[in-house]
Amino acid sequence: MPRAHALLLENLHATASEVLATYDVETRRLSTALSEDELVSALQDFPGDGPVFVGIRSKTHVTPRVFDAVPRLVAIGAFCIGTDQIALDVARRSGVAVFNAPFSSTRSVAELVIAEVVMLSRQVFARSKAAHEGHWDKSATGAHEVRGKTLGIIGYGHIGSQASILAEALGMQVQFYDIDKKLPLGNANVVDSLEALLGSSDFVSLHVPDTELTRGMIGREQLCAMRRGAYLLNLSRGKVVDIPALRDALVSGHLAGAAVDVYPREPANTKEVFESELRGLDNVILTPHIGGSTQEAQANIGREVAHALGHYLDHGSTLGCVTLPSLDLPVPTSVRRGPASRIVNVHQNVPGVLSAINRVVAETNVNIVGQALATVEDVGLLFIDVPLAADDPRAEKLREGISALDTSVRTRLLWL
């Protein structure tokens, strides 16, 4: 019998099953999403009583009923960035770890940014459209090399910093503005204020998350502060830019062009018509949120999420987890020399919970060789390492004792 079973839906990349197999997780793959009823019965259908995972993308909804109906469900892999399709509060209260893949498409987005900087600068889309319509416009008017031009990056995180490196390879000057202190890569310069960056860049590229601070951060005033003839790129989140204001800046000629991949309202499916005030403008590259849509990103997502699930199975590690507190504890060398088990306990974070757990440990009369705790709001995650083989009856007694506490949500026994 494998250590765990995983149901992988929505045609996940093959890397997901390959990586899970290395953790002794047997996978069942389906190319489609499942309804609530179908999901429940597919998850209940696995043999044995070991842990069960489900891997989804955006189309499968994991509703509160799924958690109630499948207590063996210990973790969910969202093989994408968004996790809105999962009842996260219920997952957290049920002690179910949810992992996603926020960084696997970093390089894909950065490459598209660089491609679009060149395309905008050479007016490729307007010239291509004209050529498709039979017009032969080969003049150099308004077309420029990007070498020596300044790229201003707003948000110097994973994507912004990758774009910075690639832009320098093309001979661009790079400057960035970030609310956090960030180490500049290559020859990039830090700029102290958004206004200073806007007024001194030939291309402004946005790479910030969607937060209260970033929503609407590029409005009329900021567009006015940009250089005349500059270009704006938004491949971050749709609500960061005021689209009607951007349209006005483009139509008036203040901005020479823009590339936009994300929108305040995006169609929910391929049948829905895409509406935007930017449609029909020649100097705007519109793409349907494809910044991270590459085969390579999908393969990386498969690996990233499958490894996160595997580490959770192996050691209880929740690094990058969306629902449970983030916790990792290396296995101490002394433990590696002999048999050792880890109790992974998700509990309600209420007064007295730790002393109740420690009482159970004391009653079992075993020494603790490693312990770590992390809490977020009403949920706590505790690791207790003990020098017992997992098939030692005292280890299971310890797990049972902790699991029986009213405050315990989920308690697993792992063999280190």
Q: Which residues are catalytic?
A: 237, 266, 289
Q: Which residue is nearest to ligand NAI (CB)?
A: 157
User: Among residues 105 and 318, whose Cβ is nearest to ligand NAI?
Assistant: 105
- Name 223's Cβ contacts closer than 8 Å, sequence gap at least 6: 232, 242, 245, 246, 248, 249, 254, 255
Minimum distance of ligand NAI from residue 244's CB (angstroms):
21
Q: Which is nearer to ligand NAI, 206 or 335 (CB)?
A: 206
State yes or no: residue 415 binds ligand NAI (CB under 6 A). no
Which one, 106 or 150, has the nearer CB to ligand NAI?
A: 106
Tokens coding 33: 């999403």
Total residues binding ligand NAI (CB under 6 A): 33
Given 52, 80, 113, 262, the residue binding ligand NAI (CB under 6 A): 262
Comparing CB distances to ligand NAI, the nearer of 13 and 237 is 237
Q: How far is the CB of 79 from ligand NAI (least distance, A)?
A: 14
Smallest gap, in angstroms, from Cβ of residue 81 to ligand NAI? 6
The stretch near ligand NAI (CB under 6 A) out of 17-25, 203-211, 223-231, 347-355 is 203-211
Question: What residues from 357 to 376 belong to the interface with ligand NAI (CB under 6 A)?
Answer: none
3-state secondary structure the chain: CCCEEEEECCCCCHHHHHHHHHCCEEEEECCCCCCHHHHHHHHHCCCCCCCEEEEECCCCCECHHHHHHCCCEEEEEECCCCCCCECHHHHHHCCCEEECCCCCCHHHHHHHHHHHHHHHHCCHHHHHHHHHCCCCCCCCCCCCCCCCCEEEEECCCHHHHHHHHHHHHCCCEEEEECCCCCCCCCCCEECCCHHHHHHCCCEEEECCCCCCCCCCCECHHHHHHCCCCEEEEECCCHHHECHHHHHHHHHCCCEEEEEECCCCCCCCCCCCCCCCCCCCCCCEEECCCCCCCCHHHHHHHHHHHHHHHHHHHHHCCCCCECCCCCCCCCCCHHHHCCCCEEEEEEEECCCCHHHHHHHHHHHHCCCCCEEEEEEECCEEEEEEEECCCCCCHHHHHHHHHHHCCCCEEEEEEEEC
| Touching ligand NAI, residues 90-109 (CB under 6 A) | 102-103, 105-106, 109
Cβ proximity to ligand NAI: between 234 and 341 the closer is 234
Question: What are 123's two structure tokens?
Answer: 């007016």
What is the rounded CA–CA span in Å between residue 248 and residue 244?
6
**Identified binder of ligand NAI from the candidate list 25, 114, 159, 260, rule CB under 6 A:** 159
Q: Which residue stretch of 171-179, 220-228, 332-340, 402-410 sits at the interface with ligand NAI (rule: CB under 6 A)?
A: 171-179
| Per-residue binding letters, 321-340, with ligand NAI (x by CB under 6 A) | --------------------
* Contact pick of 55, 77, 157, 238 for ligand NAI (by CB under 6 A): 157
Q: Which is nearer to ligand NAI, 253 or 288 (CB)?
A: 288
**178 touching ligand NAI, by CB under 6 A:** yes
CB 180 → ligand NAI: shortest distance, Å? 4
Q: CB 16 → ligand NAI: shortest distance, Å?
A: 19
- Contact map string, positions 272 to 301, toward ligand NAI, x by CB under 6 A: -----------------x-xx---------
Give me the residues that bind ligand NAI (CB under 6 A), please.
Answer: 81, 102-103, 105-106, 109, 154-160, 177-180, 182, 207-211, 213-214, 235-237, 261-262, 289, 291-292
